[in-house]
């Protein structure tokens, strides 16, 4: 089996460096276990889970619901830099950076498990966990890169397709959904802040996508009608390198 075939075969989840994979899997197990020892918390939609001023904030494993990281400028302009889904670990980088420079806000009613920064720093003594934490941050970074490319070079329609397909794929990979229908508990204002556009234009663009019979977004329910076509809009012009990251 060739290398490329191998890559296509294991299309679930992010592709790690083969020599590191063993450690990563084990580190992942240990890390999850550490989270499970912590008690579960919950926050209602709209609550700020992490404040930017907070020093040495805890790290969260999201159990249910959706959260996002956002930064607000003094004049009120806001950008949502990342969407966190169930299974995501939020804020891993802050254990060395001494604090987030953004807020983490519950986008829906949320349940999660916090792990104190100190505890996690202690766990870093285990190289497998250290590797795993590094992988978490690396994965975030990869997503951030893709998002930057989108913000810099895609138009509104493309951004929305990428956004929706992305969420779909992440939920699918985690086996949280089995059909191309899911719930995104963000309102259009929040989507706009994530994609660098206005609510008005999100609304118009969603209408267009609906008319094109690509996807229906009503309230918080997303129904993807033509996943293949959406992928084409999203990645039709993505480079081969980027395509490899996204499972078909």
Partner DNA sequence: CGGCGGATTGAAGGGAATCAATGCTTGTGG
Partner DNA sequence: CCACAAGCATTGATTCCCTTCAATCCGCCG
Tell me which residues in 43-62 interact with its own copies (CB under 8 A): 52-53, 55-56
Reference 65, options 47, 51, 78, 80; nearest CA is 47
Residues whose CB falls within 8 Å of the CB of residue 25, separated by 6 or more in sequence, listed in order: none
Residue from 137, 176, 199, 225 in contact with its own copies (CB under 8 A): 137
Residue from 87, 99, 232, 247 in contact with its own copies (CB under 8 A): 99
Reference 53, options 93, 97, 101; nearest CA is 101
Residues whose CB falls within 8 Å of the CB of residue 32, separated by 6 or more in sequence, listed in order: 61
Q: Does 153 contact its own copies by CB under 8 A?
A: yes
Upper half-sphere CA count for residue 243 (Cβ side, 13 Å): 12
Candidate segments 41-49, 59-67, 137-145, 214-222, binder of its own copies by CB under 8 A: 137-145
Segment (H or E) for 26 = helix 18-37
Residue from 206, 224, 235, 238 in contact with DNA (CB under 7 A): 206
Residue from 139, 196, 244, 247 in contact with DNA (CB under 7 A): 196
Token representation of residue 88: 């995501």
> What is the total count of residues that contact its own copies (CB under 8 A)?
71
Check if the beta carbon of residue 199 is closer than 8 Å to that of residue 192.
Answer: yes
Q: Does 127 contact its own copies by CB under 8 A?
A: yes
Residue from 92, 123, 164, 197 in contact with DNA (CB under 7 A): 197
Binding positions for DNA, rule: CB under 7 A: 155-157, 187-189, 196-201, 203-207, 218-219
């Amino acid at each position: 089996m060739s290398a490329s075939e191998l890559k296509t075969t294991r299309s679930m989840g992010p592709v790690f460096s083969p020599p590191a994979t063993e450690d990563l899997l084990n580190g992942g197990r240990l890390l999850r276990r550490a989270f499970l020892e912590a008690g579960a918390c919950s926050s209602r939609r709209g609550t700020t889970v992490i404040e930017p001023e907070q020093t040495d904030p805890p790290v969260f494993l999201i159990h249910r619901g959706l959260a996002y990281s956002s930064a607000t400028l003094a004049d009120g302009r806001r950008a949502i830099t990342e969407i966190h889904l169930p299974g995501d670990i939020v804020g891993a980088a802050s254990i060395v950076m001494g604090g987030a420079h953004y807020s983490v806000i519950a986008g829906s009613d949320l349940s999660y498990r916090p792990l104190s920064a100190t505890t996690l720093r202690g766990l870093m003594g285990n190289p497998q966990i250290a590797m795993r934490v590094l992988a978490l941050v690396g994965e975030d970074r990869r997503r951030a890169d893709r998002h930057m490319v989108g913000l810099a070079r895609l138009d509104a329609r493309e951004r929305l397709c990428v956004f929706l397909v992305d969420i779909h794929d992440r939920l699918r990979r985690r086996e949280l959904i089995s059909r191309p229908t899911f719930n995104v508990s963000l309102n259009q204002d929040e989507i706009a802040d994530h994609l660098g556009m206005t609510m008005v234009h999100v609304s118009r663009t969603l209408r267009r996508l609906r008319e094109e019979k690509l996807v229906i977004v009503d309230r918080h329910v997303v129904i993807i009608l033509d996943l293949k076509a959406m992928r084409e809009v999203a990645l039709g012009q993505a480079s081969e390198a980027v395509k490899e990251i996204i499972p078909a």
